[in-house]
């Protein structure tokens, strides 16, 4: 079996690639190694898998048609494309919206177009986000909810990606499934996200900012649980495509208040946090909460890692990585 993974040097892309290789897939990884966050971290992830003979890495920008064609245009017998490349970060989308349109909209179109060019016309499993729920008041968030009120450019581009997928399915009969990820964290996670930022600050004795005066809630989902969900979709979309829905929530189904999240880091580090209470940023939402009943039914998706277990694992990895 052969898979193409875009964003292979990214957090979820790297973890998914490792699991695909473990399960016997040949994997072609694509990434542009942009500098939105530490390139050295992305290269360190790749070093973990580059010695696997079933893995080939290609440096390419998915928004660039010529680069995509050179990178993967000649691949044969592709069974699935796992499209995880994206410009991430809600708050950065305020500063640089064009980067999000390029990567998350134009880049997705390039991948869909390339899928159509392959003789096998492989299905595409792609990354969406819980951010598409925007200002929705109904809790928990269900795939059946309306998602036409985004509060950030990032969320708008992710919703655009879902609509594009639906269009390609209708016009070209391209099989696609989008995964709305809910605050994914764990070892090898991104340095712009709260687990890294808070852990780094607490270990160094610096204060951390608690937005919405500490009343924010997030459906933190451990990376291993997310990868199990992704792999379940991959296997089903290859073997039983008629049994896979077009959208799934992948979340922990247990929102955690920011103060509880900080307490988990304090327990894992053995250090007390210095906190600064701040108002809500304009592009953020107060709470995310995934209804995962569809994923439970179709994918046998059952998250198992608690926030205290997950943050203990992250802190252990973080100390080791920083020590190196």
Radius of gyration of the chain (CA): 19
Please, what is the Cα angle at 91 between 98 and 317, to 5 degrees? 115
Residues in the chain where the model's pLDDT stays below 70: 283, 324
Predicted confidence (pLDDT) per residue in 281-317, tens digit: 876 788 899 999 999 999 999 999 999 999 999 999 9
Query: Do 133 and 251 contact (CB within 8 A), yes or no?
Result: no
On whether the 2-182+222-251+290-303 domain is CATH 3.40.50.720, my answer is yes
Q: Which two tokens stand for residue 306?
A: 């608690």
The per-residue pLDDT for 324 is 66
Q: Rounded to whole angstroms, what are the CA distances from 8 to 12, 25, 28, 134?
A: 8, 14, 9, 27
Please report where in the chains the tokens 């992710």 appear, as a residue: 158
Neighbours of 134 (CB within 10 A): 18
Q: Is the peptide bond preceding residue 140 cis, with omega within 30 degrees of 0?
A: yes
Is 154 noted as a catalytic residue in this protein? yes
Q: Tell me the C-alpha distance between 136 and 214, whole Å.
A: 20
The per-residue pLDDT for 283 is 65
Query: Do 111 and 81 contact (CB within 8 A), yes or no?
Result: yes
Q: Which two tokens stand for residue 7?
A: 């964003």
Terminus-to-terminus CA distance in the chain, angstroms? 35
Specify burial of residue 167 (Cβ count, 10 A radius: 0-12, 13-18, 19+). middle
Q: Rounded to whole angstroms, what are the CA distances from 285 to 134, 271, 289?
A: 7, 29, 11
Phi, psi of 206, rounded to the nearest 5 degrees: -95, 155
Q: Catalytic residue among 126, 133, 154, 168, which?
A: 154
Please, what is the Cα angle at 152 between 150 and 109, to 5 degrees? 80
Query: Percentage of the chain with pLDDT > 90?
Result: 90
Please report where in the chains the tokens 């349109």 appear, as a residue: 101
The per-residue pLDDT for 92 is 80
The per-residue pLDDT for 213 is 83
Residue 45: which of 70, 16, 68, 87 has the closest Cα? 16
DSSP one-letter code for 280: P
Neighbours of 160 (CB within 10 A): 18
Predicted confidence (pLDDT) per residue in 108-133, tens digit: 999 999 999 999 999 999 999 999 99
The per-residue pLDDT for 94 is 85
Q: Tell me the C-alpha distance between 169 and 242, whole Å.
A: 13
Q: Rounded to whole angstroms, what are the CA distances from 112 to 6, 84, 131?
A: 12, 13, 22
Where do the structural domains in the chain lie, given as residue ranges?
2-182+222-251+290-303
């Amino acid at each position: 079996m052969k898979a193409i993974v875009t964003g292979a040097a990214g957090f979820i892309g790297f973890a998914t690639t490792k699991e695909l290789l473990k399960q016997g897939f040949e994997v072609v990884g694509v990434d542009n190694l942009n500098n939105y966050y530490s390139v050295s971290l992305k290269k360190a992830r790749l070093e973990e898998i580059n010695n696997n003979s079933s893995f080939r890495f290609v440096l390419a920008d998915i928004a660039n048609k010529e680069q995509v064609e050179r990178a993967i245009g000649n691949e044969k017998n592709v069974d699935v494309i796992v499209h995880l490349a994206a410009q991430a970060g809600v708050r950065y989308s305020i500063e640089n919206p064009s980067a999000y349109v390029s990567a998350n909209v134009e880049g997705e179109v390039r991948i869909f177009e390339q899928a159509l060019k392959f003789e096998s016309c492989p299905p595409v499993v792609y990354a969406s986000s819980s951010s598409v729920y925007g200002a929705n008041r109904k809790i928990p968030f269900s795939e059946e909810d309306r998602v036409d009120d985004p509060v950030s450019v990032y969320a708008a581009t992710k919703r655009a990606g879902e609509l594009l997928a639906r269009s390609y399915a209708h016009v070209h009969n391209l099989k696609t499934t989008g995964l709305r990820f809910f605050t994914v964290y764990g070892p090898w996670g991104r340095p712009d996200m709260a687990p890294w930022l808070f852990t780094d600050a607490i270990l160094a004795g610096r204060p951390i900012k608690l937005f919405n005066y500490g009343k924010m809630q997030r459906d933190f989902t451990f990376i291993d649980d997310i990868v199990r969900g992704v792999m379940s979709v991959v296997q089903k979309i290859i073997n039983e495509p008629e049994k896979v829905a077009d959208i799934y929530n992948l979340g922990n189904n247990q929102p955690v208040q920011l103060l509880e999240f900080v307490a988990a880091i304090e327990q894992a580090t053995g250090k007390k946090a210095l906190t600064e209470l701040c108002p809500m940023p304009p592009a953020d939402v107060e709470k995310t909460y995934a209804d995962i009943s569809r994923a439970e039914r179709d994918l046998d998706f059952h998250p198992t890692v608690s926030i205290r277990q997950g943050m203990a694992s992250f802190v252990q990895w973080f100390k080791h990585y920083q020590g190196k």
